[in-house]
């Protein structure tokens, strides 16, 4: 890791704030105050614009979320039996997930030192449990979304 011989600009500068640092006359003070007021107005205008942009962003995101919720609600109304089956499957698969997590945590607790000491053991553990856990969580998430009851606050 070598350092560049090129110089980089300083991130911070020094400002002299001592009492004896270049005292200015009354006219300079008035100009300085006017400049500060101008800068503060510019900052305020920039913050107002930033707030407007954030409001627009929130409106866009919530509109998309409302659209997805509406489409999901329509799908559930069009497929009520499938939505109920998804709920039943999600509950059953949740039990499977609990058992799987129990087995995984027992494996971790029984082999904690080997997992910490050996990269091979850790890789074997991740290969054994990782993909199944990720896929199981994905399937559970889909089933839960398709089976959940609509939130009355969003309706």
Tell me the pLDDT tens digit for each residue of 80-103.
999 999 999 999 999 999 999 999
Q: What does DSSP assign to residue 6?
A: S
In this prediction, residues 138-150 reach a mean pLDDT of 84
pLDDT of 124 higher than 80: yes
Q: How many CA atoms lie within 13 A of 60 on its CB side?
A: 6
pLDDT of 153 higher than 50: no
Is the CB of residue 139 less than 8 Å from the CB of residue 93? yes
Is the CB of residue 100 less than 8 Å from the CB of residue 133? yes
C-alpha dihedral, 46 to 47 to 52 to 53, nearest 10°: 70
What is the rounded CA–CA span in Å between residue 88 and residue 128? Answer: 27
38, two tokens? 């101008």
């Amino acid at each position: 890791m070598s350092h560049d011989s090129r110089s980089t600009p300083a991130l911070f500068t020094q400002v002299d704030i001592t009492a004896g640092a270049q005292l200015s006359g009354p006219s300079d003070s008035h100009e300085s105050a006017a400049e500060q007021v101008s800068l503060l107005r510019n900052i305020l205008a920039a913050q107002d614009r930033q707030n407007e942009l954030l409001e627009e962003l929130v409106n866009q995101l919530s509109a998309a979320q409302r659209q997805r919720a509406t489409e999901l609600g329509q799908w559930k109304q069009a497929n009520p039996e499938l939505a109920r089956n998804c709920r039943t499957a999600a509950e059953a698969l949740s039990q499977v997930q609990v058992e799987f997590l129990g087995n995984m945590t027992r494996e971790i607790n029984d082999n904690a030192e080997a997992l910490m000491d050996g990269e091979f053991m850790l890789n074997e553990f991740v290969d054994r449990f990782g993909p199944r856990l990720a896929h199981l969580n994905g399937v559970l998430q889909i089933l839960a979304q398709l089976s959940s009851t609509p939130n009355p606050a969003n309706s």
